[in-house]
């Protein structure tokens, strides 16, 4: 039960903690010396290393290395380094929010070197340490079997919250669509609560309503729990900017719907709403106002 965790940020750090507390021996590296030092002080079954080569040299074989890094250039660099350090029979688990086509490519490249590969979609956020993580992972059966003991520690229970989804790429494909669905659910909640708040004639207590909906309602969910907890403290949210980033998986879900010819209007609309939150529709809105004025003489609002 030895595993390396490379990348000890908000997700990777807590995953390393849960693995350590669940009986695994964790070898950890992060570019931040403070981060890896803090974990080493907290967890008895965690050992920090100052470099990746030093970590790999100390890790018993066959090695299991979990990469918990940002997708894109940083992950690609890590894969390139792993190819020079690992040996046949070792396993790489990629827990990044990676594009599934990249995971298919990584799986093929590593298979040619007889290095096993698993792509793991991870959900649970900052609450995963306490509640466990939802894990969906792809890879060949022997690779999945090698990863399974660690999945059982990370999941809410050994018998739930994790599944081997299929070949390499299927884990990140499943997580991509999980996040696409999440975009739609979040947008629906946001729009509904905005309408509740705007109905001034009723003077609705939206904190009380959110709490009521948590119990036996068909829309009860963890997202609603988070909304209710927030609104109990602050219903105005005046300190927040109306700016919503996207991590990439919502975009990929929409692009996949086009490739498959499967209508996905909810996911698409939710993604476009995030774009709009950044002012990316300002010029379009100005043009719309100009057109209404031009054809109908409607008033134009100016700064």
Give catalytic residues, as residue numbers.
175, 182
Cα 82 to Cα 114: distance, rounded to the nearest angstrom: 13
Interatomic CA distance for residues 105 and 169, integer angstroms:
8
Q: Which of 234, 119, 113, 219 is nearest to 169 (CA)?
A: 119
Q: What spatial distance separates the first Cα and last Cα of the chain, rounded to whole Å? A: 63
Sign of CA dihedral 173, 136, 185, 7: negative
Compute CA distances 277 → 96, 244, 266, whole Å. 26, 6, 17
Q: What are phi and psi of 228, to 5 degrees?
A: -60, -45
Question: In the structure encoding, which two tokens stand for residue 230, read together?
Answer: 């927030």
Look at the chain and count its residues: 303
Query: Quick one: angle between helices 265-277 and 170-198, nearest 10?
Result: 70
Task: Decide if 13 contacts 36 (C-beta within 8 A).
Answer: no
H/E stretch holding 120 reads strand 116-123
Looking only at the bridges linking them, the beta strands covering 46-48 and 134-138 are unpaired
Taking the C-alpha atoms of residue 116 and residue 144, their distance in angstroms, rounded to an integer, is 9
């Amino acid at each position: 039960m030895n595993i390396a965790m490379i990348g000890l940020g908000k997700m990777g750090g807590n995953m390393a903690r849960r693995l350590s507390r669940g009986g695994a021996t964790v070898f950890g590296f992060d570019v931040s010396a403070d981060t890896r030092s803090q974990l080493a002080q907290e967890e008895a079954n965690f050992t920090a290393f100052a470099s990746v080569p030093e970590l790999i040299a100390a890790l018993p074989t066959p090695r299991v290395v979990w990469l918990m890094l940002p997708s894109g250039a940083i992950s690609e660099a890590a894969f390139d380094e792993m190819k020079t350090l690992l040996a046949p029979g070792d396993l790489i688990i990629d827990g990044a929010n990676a594009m599934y086509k990249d995971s298919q490519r990584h799986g093929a490249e590593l298979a040619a070197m007889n290095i096993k590969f698993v792509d793991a979609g991870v959900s649970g956020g900052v609450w995963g340490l306490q509640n466990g993580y939802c894990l969906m992972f792809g890879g060949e059966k022997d690779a999945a079997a090698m990863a399974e003991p660690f999945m059982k520690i990370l999941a809410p229970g050994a018998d739930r919250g994790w599944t081997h989804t299929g070949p390499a790429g299927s884990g990140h494909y499943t997580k991509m669509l999980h996040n696409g669905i999440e975009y739609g659910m979040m947008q629906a909640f946001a729009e509904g609560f905005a309408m509740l708040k705007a109905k001034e004639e009723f003077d609705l207590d939206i904190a009380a309503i959110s709490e009521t909906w948590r119990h036996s309602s068909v829309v009860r969910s963890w997202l609603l729990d988070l909304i209710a907890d927030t609104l109990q403290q602050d219903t105005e949210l005046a300190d927040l900017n109306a700016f919503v980033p996207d991590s990439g998986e919502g975009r990929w879900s929409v692009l996949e719907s086009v490739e498959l010819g499967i209508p996905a209007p909810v996911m698409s609309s939710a993604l476009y709403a995030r774009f709009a939150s950044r002012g990316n529709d300002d010029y379009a809105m100005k043009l719309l106002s100009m057109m209404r004025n031009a054809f109908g003489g409607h008033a134009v609002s100016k700064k």
